Each structure stands twice: as C-alpha cells, then as structure tokens.
Amino acid sequence: MSGLLAVPIINYHKISEESDIGITSRRPVDFRNDLRWLRDNGFTSLTFETLDPAAVLPQKPVIITFDDGYRSVLENAAPALAEFGFRAVIYMPVSYIGCWNDWDVQFGGRKFKHLTRDELLILISAGHEIGSHGLSHRLLRHLTADEKQKEIGLSKVRLEDMIGRKVDSFSYPFGRADQLSIDLVRDSGYKFAVSGLFWGRNEAGPFNLPRTNIYRMDSQSALRKKMDRPMRREGLILRDFLIQKGGLATAWYQKIMGIGRP
C-alpha cells in the first residue's frame, strides 16, 4: 500500500478549447503536451482495475483520471491517450450518464454533455476504466447517512449494470471524503477511492488517495512540479487550494436550490 500512496495521480475534467468558469477545462494542445512529456520521461499509466497490489509497480507509474466524464474525454482526450499509449480512469456521476450537467452551476448558461453509455463502452474497449463519481454529484458531507449510502453503493450497482463489468474505484464529488463516506466506500465493495489533494483530515489510504488537479493555466513546469509530490514548497499549493475551495460554491448552490434531491 505504501507503494501505491507514492504513485502520482493527476486529475483532469474537460479537455476542450472552450474555457469555463471553473478553469478546469484544459486545452487539447496542452493535454497532448502533458502526455508527450509523460511518455518522453518514461511514465507508465496504471488503472485501478488492473492494479495488482502484490505486483511490483513500474519504475515511473502515474494514474491519469478524469472527473465528471464529459463528452470531451471521448472526443479530445481519448485520441491523445491512444497516441501516447496511456490508459485513464473516468469517473461518472451515474444519474447524469448521457445527460447535460444540470448539477453544476452554469454561469452564462453554458452546458456540457456527459458521456453516454455507448460512449463509455467505446472507452472501455480502448482500455480505459470507468469508475463511480456518485449518483448526483453532491457533496457527501451535506447528505444523510442514507443518502451517502445511495450515492456510493447504488451508483456502483447501477454503473455495473450499465457497463456490464465490475466497478472498482470511486471518486468523491468535489474531492471531499468524510470518514463515514470512506467507510461506506470500503463496505460497498470498492477497492480504491480518490479524493482531492488538500482534504487530508482523514488519513490517506486506498479509500482516500490524494490527487492533483491539472488546470487550464498550468504550464509544463507546473505539471512537473505537481507530479513531484509533495509540492508544498512550490507555491502552487495555495493557488490550487483556493481553486478547490471555489469549487465548493457549487456544492452550496446545490444544497440551497435542492439540486439532485430525489
């Protein structure tokens, strides 16, 4: 396990020319350059479903993840991943598969489409893993124990039904894991779960693996620094902390407006 904790996990959202308010949309050209840098520097990508805890890890492992599963993952990320020989893990808010991202705060009215079931099957056949990002992309901390169980356990069952294979990993919405959610993830039969970088109040472990977000304005050297964890000295941490805090505005908006409530 200690080996796995040392594996850098980098996280993307949209790969698109279009910017968005959350600055989580990375330009396709920058994404290709990220992958070129990873390949040229000898990195091997791992996925959770193929991870054998007993096996020796490659010398320079990396796990590449995408939260929210937008269509741009298929359109813009998948061709580049294939070109450079990498596999990724794509985390879906399961109730929104094939739908618009109505769970998100959309300043300016711009909406984005989530991947459909058929598109997920295409990504699976290309070697990528599909994981659960809950049902409705709500902050688990805002939910009752019952609701948490549905987001975590029911999303796994539904996603497995939909794609016809086991779902081994979970990504906490907004990167935030609370202790009950961590326990529920473990008890629901997941093998791994990923969180954000800065929410370390709960101990890191297989059900709370920290990740680093790669944002639109990150340069190549920022990627390098972010790969080289821990990055406390690098001055990036405060900026990224503030960005992730900003993301929580969406969670509060959902709570106030009752978005995602059954």
Binding site for Zn ion (CB under 5 A): 67-68
Least distance to Zn ion from the beta carbon of 173, Å?
A: 5
Closer residue to Zn ion (CB): 67 or 129: 67
Q: Which is nearer to Zn ion, 13 or 225 (CB)?
A: 13
Q: Which residue, judged by CB position, is nearest to Zn ion in the bound state?
A: 67
Neighbours of 131 (CB within 10 A): 27
- Could you give the CA distance from residue 153 to residue 61 in angstroms, rounded to a whole number? 29
Handedness of CA 239, 29, 26, 66 (dihedral sign): negative
Nearer to Zn ion, 43 or 70 (CB): 70
Half-sphere exposure of 63 (CA within 13 A, CB side): 27
CB neighbours of residue 160 within 10 Å: 16
When the beta carbons of 48 and 112 are compared against Zn ion, the nearer one is: 112
CB of 13 to Zn ion, least distance (A): 7
Can you tell me the distance from the alpha carbon of 224 to that of 234, in angstroms, rounded to the nearest whole number? Answer: 11
**Rounded least distance, CB 148 to Zn ion, Å:** 16
Kindly state the smallest distance separating residue 73's Cβ from Zn ion, in Å: 13
